[in-house]
Amino acid sequence: MTAAQEAQAGPTVPTTRPAQDVPAAGPVPSGVDVLGVGFGPANLSLAIALQEDSPRTSSSFVEAEREPVWQGGMLLDGSDTQNHPCRDLVTLRNPRSHYSFINYLFEQGRLIEHLNLPVEFPLRKEYARYIQWATNQFRSQVALGARATGIAVAEVDGAPGYVVTCADGSRRAGRALVLGTGRTPFVPRPFDGLDSPRVCHLTRYLPTVRQLAPTEPGSIAVIGGSQSAVEIVLDLARRFPRARIVNYVRKFGLRLKDTSPFSEEGFFPAFTDYYYKASRSGKDALDAYMRPTNYSSSDGDVLKELYALIYEQRLDGEQRVFVRGNSEVRAAEADDSGVALEVAEIHTGDVAAERADLVILATGFRDLGPNPQQEPYPALLRGVIDRFQFDADGYLIVEADYSLRPRVDGTPPLFLNGLCESSHGIGDAGSFSLLSLRAATIRDGLRKQGIG
Ligand SMILES: Cc1cc2nc3c(=O)[nH]c(=O)nc-3n(C[C@H](O)[C@H](O)[C@H](O)COP(=O)(O)OP(=O)(O)OC[C@H]3O[C@@H](n4cnc5c(N)ncnc54)[C@H](O)[C@@H]3O)c2cc1C
């Protein structure tokens, strides 16, 4: 197995052998009450909730990026957020918070101008600046450029706690741990075995195309039928107007998102409670219904723009952008000059040999679970996972308050923040929808365990 394949295969479900912690190397540093890994919107929202509602609870965070930018690999010109802007870091939990998007606009002197914008949702780059503005107010609590590589249980200030080791060798400790690292990118076959700068997941899109400049690729393949895929195709068409761009999609074509207000109630807290209590087969049925509200589908504005672009190119007799439905890439081989693709038509079985200078994978992310497209647990928990329970179907047991259910006495509290779509449903997808309410639930869960 290559390293990339190993990462893709992810961790395996532990057996029920006795817990054998990976020991924390060296002396354990003094700890905070709450230690967070990752400082994206999820843990930032938690830091704010602790500051506002539980000021005596000490917290600190490690963040891999030196200057974190919200989904920086996809901050495309013109792209907008997929949520009402008031579903921000705080408003659903505390509409009077200093850290709301509206207050950010107010403090920047842009509120009235923003309210006059003839658009439904804010630009993603403006939302990223809002998140950066809030992040900057917590700098003293965050170790930036510190990528966590290992987690161990150890005695912290005389009680069980966690020690997190980072790539630079630094270590931090806490009585409770909150993992908010975002979901793992999903790289499907046959790309999972390729280690080539010519193949990238959407999370690396902008750095990859910027590195190409000033060379213009002659042909680019975009894999997947998500909102991100459509945004990437449009961005590529603007950026490289002479390139041949082919979007390979497994389904018949590109689908419109389900934006019915009835379906959108899947992003209500009541749905989270309902989904949490549903059986696994019930959850599967709810997922199948809810999927088009967020996955493998796009908003009408970008779909119409892409359709009109292709129509105009055909009218001019020089089509360069293509959407190939019912297509599956069955084999891929990369060399210095490009990537050779074997593309099958799913229903007729026809196979075509194609070539691309660059392949962008708009193929989504992994959830927690036993299925091939999922991962059983976040790989970072490798050293402590034997302490926690899995259900009969192979799912890690996540309590309603996002803590993991221990199977070993004396296990300190560990919460997942933003990784729980398979236990809590679509409203808990790594999105902003219920982020601020989830922070309140975790804050309460910490209190219940005697922290804060
Ligand atoms: C292209 C794109 C567009 C999106 N647009 C929207 C949108 O418009 N609206 C919406 O609601 N949602 C959107 N989402 C969903 C997105 O997941 C959420 O908006 C949000 O980013 C989730 O926050 P998070 O903190 O859970 O994860 P992330 O934003 O992924 O943040 C996780 C953080 O953890 C850090 N980290 C990871 N591993 C480690 C480690 N080992 N050690 C230390 N730090 C680590 C990362 O550097 C990162 O800063 C979008 C997602 C993508 C990919």
Sketch the domain layout of the chain as residue ranges.
3-184+366-448, 191-257+295-361
CA of 182 to the centre of ligand 1 (A): 5
Task: List C-alpha distances in Å: 189 to 94, 330, 332, 362.
Answer: 44, 8, 9, 13
Q: How many CB atoms lie within 10 A of CB 72?
A: 16
pTM: 0.94
pLDDT at residue number 196: 93
Task: Single out the residue of 257, 255, 261, 208 nearest to residue 235, CA to CA.
Answer: 208
Q: Which atom of ligand 1 is nearest to the CA of 42?
A: 25
Is the confidence at residue 88, as pLDDT, over 50? Answer: yes
Task: Give domain 3-184+366-448's CATH number out of 3.40.980.10, 3.40.50.720, 3.30.750.24, 3.50.50.60.
Answer: 3.50.50.60
- C-alpha closest to that of 307 among 354, 258, 256, 357: 256
Q: Are both 3-184+366-448 and 191-257+295-361 of the same fold?
A: yes
| Mean pLDDT score, 88-113 | 98
Closest ligand 1 atom to Cα of 148: 42
Q: What pLDDT, on a 0 to 100 scale, did the predictor assign at position 298?
A: 96
Q: Whose CA is nearest to atom 12 of ligand 1?
A: 431
Higher pLDDT: 121 or 14? It is 121
Q: 14: CA distance to ligand 1 center in Å? A: 27
The best mutation among 121, 181, 205 to test binding of ligand 1, ranked by most ligand atoms within 8 Å of the C-beta, falls on: 181
Q: Which two tokens stand for residue 246?
A: 């082919």
Give percent of the chain with pLDDT exceeding 70.
94
Confidence of residue 25 (pLDDT cuts 50, 70, 90): low
> What ligand 1 atom has the least distance to the C-alpha of 149?
41
Distance CA 276, CA 365 (A): 21
Whether residue 1 is predicted with pLDDT greater than 80 in this model: the reply is no
Is the confidence at residue 24, as pLDDT, over 80?
no
What confidence score (pLDDT) does residue 10 get?
Answer: 57
Give 344 Cα–ligand 1 centroid separation in angstroms.
Answer: 33
Residue nearest to atom 29 of ligand 1 (CA): 40
Rounded Cα–Cα distance for residues 153 and 112 (Å): 50
Residue whose entry in the numeric block shows the structure tokens 């993603």: 124
Q: Of ligand 1's atoms, which has the minimum distance to the CA of residue 41?
A: 25
Q: What is the pLDDT of residue 215?
A: 85
| pLDDT greater than 90 at residue 183 | yes
Specify the ligand 1 atom closest to the Cα of 430.
17
Q: How far is the CA of 71 from the centre of ligand 1 (A)?
A: 6
Distance CA 388, CA 153 (A): 12
Q: Where residue 29 falls among pLDDT bands split at 50, 70, 90?
A: confident
- From CA 224, how far away is CA 297, in angstroms rounded? 10
Instruction: Report the distance separating Cα 89 and Cα 101, nearest Å.
Output: 8
Mean pLDDT to the nearest integer, 90-108: 98
Q: In whole angstroms, give the CA distance from residue 104 to residue 316.
A: 45
Please give the number of the atom of ligand 1 that sits closest to the Cα of 380.
41
CA of 365 to the centre of ligand 1 (A): 11
Give 318-377 pLDDT, tens digit per residue: 999 999 999 999 999 999 889 999 999 999 999 999 999 999 999 999 999 999 999 999
Residue located nearest, by CA, to atom 20 of ligand 1: 431
Question: Can you tell me the mean pLDDT for 78-95?
Answer: 96
Q: Give the mean model confidence (pLDDT) for residues 211-240.
A: 94
Q: How confident is the model at residue 214 (pLDDT cuts 50, 70, 90)?
A: confident
Average pLDDT over residues 61-89: 96
Query: What residue has token string 């509290």?
Result: 413
Provide the pLDDT for residue 93: 98
Q: What mean pLDDT do residues 235-261 have?
A: 97
Distance 430 CA to ligand 1 centre (A): 7
C-alpha span between 287 and 419 (Å, rounded): 16
pLDDT tens per residue, range 276-321: 999 999 999 999 999 999 999 999 999 999 999 999 999 999 999 9
Write the DSSP assignment of 226-243 as a string of letters: SHHHHHHHHHHHHH-TTS
Peptide bond into 27 cis (omega under 30): no
The vertex-221 CA angle with 218 and 227, nearest 5°, equals 130
Does position 34 have pLDDT exceeding 80, yes or no? yes
DSSP assignment of 384-440, as one string? TGGGB-B-TTS-B-B-TTSBBPBSSTTPPPEEESS--HHHH-GGGSSSSTTHHHHHH
Whether 16 has a pLDDT exceeding 80, the answer reads: no
Find the 72 Cα to ligand 1 centroid distance in Å.
9
Average pLDDT, the chain: 94
Which of 266, 210, 268 lies closest to 235, judged by CA? 210
What is the average pLDDT across 101-108?
Answer: 98
Q: How far is the CA of 350 from the centre of ligand 1 (A)?
A: 38
| Residues making up the chain, counted from first to last | 452
- What architecture (CATH level 2) is domain 191-257+295-361? 3-Layer(bba) Sandwich (3.50)
pLDDT of residue 28: 84
Q: Quick one: pLDDT band at residue 2, thresholds 50, 70, 90?
A: very low
Q: 110 CA distance to ligand 1 centroid (A)?
A: 25
> Which of 63, 230, 360 to mutate for ligand 1's pocket (most ligand atoms within 8 Å of CB)?
63
Name the closest-CA residue to atom 8, ligand 1.
81
Residues with CB under 6 A from ligand 1: 37-43, 62-65, 68, 70-71, 74, 81-83, 124, 147-148, 180-182, 228, 380, 418, 430-433
- What's the pLDDT band for 23 if we cut at 50, 70, 90? low
Mean pLDDT of 181-190: 97
What ligand 1 atom has the least distance to the C-alpha of 79?
8
Q: What is the pLDDT of residue 428?
A: 86
Dmax (CA) for the chain in angstroms is: 75
Distance from the alpha carbon of residue 40 to the mean position of ligand 1, in angstroms: 6
Residue 7 has pLDDT above 50, yes or no: no
Six-digit token string for 121: 């949702």
Cα(153) to ligand 1 centroid in Å equals 26
- Tell me the CA end-to-end span of the chain in Å, nearest whole number: 45
The pLDDT value recorded for residue 429 is 78
> What is the reported pLDDT for 390?
98
Q: Does residue 165 or residue 337 have the better pLDDT?
A: 165
Which of 61, 66, 71, 81 to mutate to test ligand 1, by most ligand atoms within 8 A of the CB atom? 71
Instruction: Give the model's pLDDT for residue 6.
Output: 42
**Ligand 1 centroid distance, CA of 346 (Å):** 33
